[in-house]
Structure 1
Amino acid sequence: MHACVVHKAGDLRVEEWDPGLPGPGQVLVAASLGGICGSDLHYYHRGSVGDFQVREPLVLGHEVVGRIAALGPGAEGGPAIGTPVAVHPATPCGTCPECARDRRNVCGQARYLGSAARMPHVQGGFAQRFVVPADQVRALPAGLDPRRAVLAEPFSVALHAVRRAGEVAGRRVLVTGAGPIGSLVVAALRHAGAAEVIVSDLLDAPLDIARSVGATATVRADRPDDPAWPDDVDVAVEASGSGAGLGTCVQRVRRGGTVVLLGLLPPGETGFLGNVVVTRELTLRGAFRFDHEFDDALALLASGLDVGPVVSHTLPLARAVEAFDLAGDRTRASKVLLDLGGE
């Protein structure tokens, strides 16, 4: 078996990998496709995501679909061998106050596929085969193609962000950042009934994708005088992960409006217009990962919700370095998939 492994910043290799056998309550997944996420790119380029530093070889990837290849003891009650599945990447502790309040996505002890947050690291899904707890796999709904199902994880992030925004039906919403997550937020907002969704970005190509999945207007972030900028919006979702994007959201949302912080900002402190938040009595909400939205995302994708334009390229696992370089070039690519070939 082979896997895509990061050793340190700039050192990404496709190398032999032994997934081991599934233990009690676990399954072995033969992976078919994996989506390259922004956090995967951070591990590749920086050797870290925020404060999480790569300290040992780490198999990347948490957006993965495949088939059940083997069952560990006690896992017979779930999907049978051969079943096409998507993988929920989080393993919350189940006992902390956050888990007890059904906010498992902010569990402080959670383990996440392809994450360096803990030692030993949690190995990810960019491998031809990998082992996960059985309760983290979901049989794909009938008729859902794996190329659509592989977007369930990032679409779940978008669904959670929209839910953190509160009621958006009939509202006017600004989204800063038209990368894959920002564009999926657009699709989620339109599905939730947002009347207008205005999207900003520094590049034209991502804005074209945002329009194709439902944006009612787009604007270049580097053109502050563009008349397409809204004077005030009910809700703003910051999906670019930049201080400038957060500033734009705070400035453009109406008095009493809501700003959802979704994109992870650079490490350290980020200045923002705190007095504007106070005097306009804005609500700022963080949105981190997801939980139950994973099942909702699979159902919506199976229903035909069109987010296909977000995927721009598919490359084989053997060309993983090329795929990562491509995924990091926003002038050429949006969501890049790896054909893991584990089936």
Structure 2
Amino acid sequence: MAAGPNLAVVAHAADDLRVEEVPEPQPGPGEAVVSVAYGGICGSDLHYWTHGAAGLSILREPMVLGHEMSGTVLVAAADGTGPALGTPVTVHPATHDSYLGSAALLPHTPGVFARRVALPAAMLRPLPDAVSLRSAALCEPAAVAWHGLARAGDVRDRRVLVIGCGPIGALSVAAARTHGAAEVVAVDLHDLPRRIATDLGATSTLAADDPRLTEVGLDVDVALECSGSRPGLASAIRATRRGGRVVMVGLQPAGEQPTLLAQAITRELELVGSFRFRDEIDDVVAALGSGLALDAAITHEVDVTDTAGVLDAFGTARNASVSGKVLLRF
């Protein structure tokens, strides 16, 4: 094993986040040990920190957070499956019934915010030589964006609207451009996310309170609603042309939600949901290997040995006006 304590970021309860030493991983059958390089803070990590729950998944015991990561194989799986020793990897975080860093089950499924973790070798995705470990930490959120775009259908030569340019929205801009969209209009409340979206390929940007979003008239072919807000969904419906498609990528609040259904019906819109991803992470890895640049989405990076800095990093990631993707360096 590598030298140094196995530091991890552990959620104990709401408002109780700690950087602490955890036991060294003991790989089971078909598992490899990965030396984690980077982990990206996601919305679900923030929910476990602030609320002690992410949706219906409630913390009932301390849990290592994180499901976005890159690293290097430190111990290959003993059965010979999966990547060899020394292979740089990212991870597909879905298990058969849960997700890494999820409290859906008891015992909870530990995440990857630790210096060394044991993971099923089948979850690991080797990285092309040209892909840095820093860039590879974006593979999981980019796969969410790629899946949302897959739900949108063929966007080649189409006009695409992306509402909400946090990390998923910004990466959705990149996905749309990568897949041949002729125009991508990016919408956000704040200046920084709009600038990031421009860096990732948006052809124009709008403030979320722009009058053009409160009237029917933008006439985009596809709208990707990534804010998870009722106003964002209303704007997406108004902005999409007759017969177009609205993809709901952002998770709306639980329970019944009012929306512009009459307008969606009379203009024959398709409203479709998008949740996580299937195998799109493989497409993202391949695209990065072919030169796709996504690093503009990264705005902050902090080392796990800086305990105060890690706690500050979670606060920074929560503030969409000052951050894009916030990385932890292990």
Please report the TM-score for the alignment, with normalisation by the length of structure 2. Answer: 0.94
Higher RCO, 1 vs 2 (CA within 8 Å, ≥6 residues apart): 1
**Aligned pair in 2 of structure 1 residues 209, 321: CA closer, same or farther (>3 Å)?**
same
Find 1:45's aligned residue among 50, 73, 77.
50
The one-letter code matched in structure 2 to 1:64 is: M
Contact 2:214/2:238 (CA < 8 Å) preserved in 1?
Answer: no
Per-residue CA deviations over 1:159-181 (Å, capped at 9, x if unaligned) read: 11101001111111111101111
Q: Secondary structure at the match of 1:181?
A: helix
The one-letter code matched in structure 1 to 2:86 is: G
Runs of 4+ in 1 over 3 A off after TM superposition: 225-230
Per-residue CA deviations over 1:251-275 (Å, capped at 9, x if unaligned) read: 1111111010101112222211111
Q: Which runs of 5+ in 2 are unaligned?
A: 1-5
Find 2:321's aligned residue among 311, 315, 331.
331
Per-residue CA deviations over 1:267-295 (Å, capped at 9, x if unaligned) read: 22221111122212211111111121111
Cα distance in 1 between the residues matched to 2:253 and 2:193: 21
| Residue 226 of structure 1, CA deviation | 7.7
Counterpart of 1:194? Answer: 181
Per-residue CA deviations over 1:289-338 (Å, capped at 9, x if unaligned) read: 11211111011112111211100111011332111111112222110100
Cα distance in 1 between the residues matched to 2:213 and 2:167: 24
Q: Secondary structure at the match of 2:187?
A: strand
Compare 220-229 and 36-45 and name the one that shifted more: 220-229
| Residue 223 of structure 1, CA deviation | 2.8
Find 2:205's aligned residue among 201, 218, 222.
218
| Residue 118 of structure 1, CA deviation | 1.5
Contact 1:218/1:228 (CA < 8 Å) preserved in 2?
Answer: no
- Tell me if 1:70 matches 2:57: no
Cα distance in 1 between the residues matched to 2:215 and 2:263: 22
Contact 2:70/2:90 (CA < 8 Å) preserved in 1?
Answer: yes
Cα distance in 1 between the residues matched to 2:33 and 2:45: 22
- Tell me if 1:6 matches 2:11: yes
Cα distance in 2 between the residues matched to 1:10 and 1:302: 39
| RMSD of aligned Cα (Å) | 1.7
Map residues 294-313 of structure 1 onto 2, 5 A cutoff.
294-313=281-300
Contact 2:30/2:81 (CA < 8 Å) preserved in 1?
Answer: no
Counterpart of 1:101? Answer: none
The one-letter code matched in structure 2 to 1:252 is: A
Q: Secondary structure at the match of 1:162?
A: helix
Counterpart of 1:150? Answer: 137
Cα distance in 2 between the residues matched to 1:112 and 1:244: 29
Contact 1:28/1:69 (CA < 8 Å) preserved in 2?
Answer: yes
Cα distance in 2 between the residues matched to 1:299 and 1:228: 40
Cα distance in 1 between the residues matched to 2:217 and 2:42: 30
Cα distance in 2 between the residues matched to 1:229 and 1:57: 48
- Tell me if 1:235 matches 2:235: no
Per-residue CA deviations over 1:5-57 (Å, capped at 9, x if unaligned) read: 11122111011212431011111111111111111112112222222211211
Contact 2:152/2:246 (CA < 8 Å) preserved in 1?
Answer: yes
**Aligned pair in 2 of structure 1 residues 256, 331: CA closer, same or farther (>3 Å)?**
same
Counterpart of 1:24? Answer: 29
Map residues 105-116 of structure 1 onto 2, 5 A cutoff.
110-116=97-103
**Aligned pair in 2 of structure 1 residues 283, 45: CA closer, same or farther (>3 Å)?**
same
Contact 1:51/1:267 (CA < 8 Å) preserved in 2?
Answer: no
Counterpart of 1:281? Answer: 268
Per-residue CA deviations over 1:135-169 (Å, capped at 9, x if unaligned) read: 11111111211111111111111111101001111
Q: Secondary structure at the match of 2:89?
A: strand
Contact 2:39/2:67 (CA < 8 Å) preserved in 1?
Answer: yes
Cα distance in 2 between the residues matched to 1:157 and 1:232: 25
Cα distance in 1 between the residues matched to 2:212 and 2:273: 29
Cα distance in 2 between the residues matched to 1:193 and 1:230: 23
Find 2:66's aligned residue among 56, 61, 64.
61
Counterpart of 1:100? Answer: none
Contact 2:10/2:62 (CA < 8 Å) preserved in 1?
Answer: yes
Q: Secondary structure at the match of 1:118?
A: coil
Counterpart of 1:102? Answer: none
**Aligned pair in 2 of structure 1 residues 35, 229: CA closer, same or farther (>3 Å)?**
farther
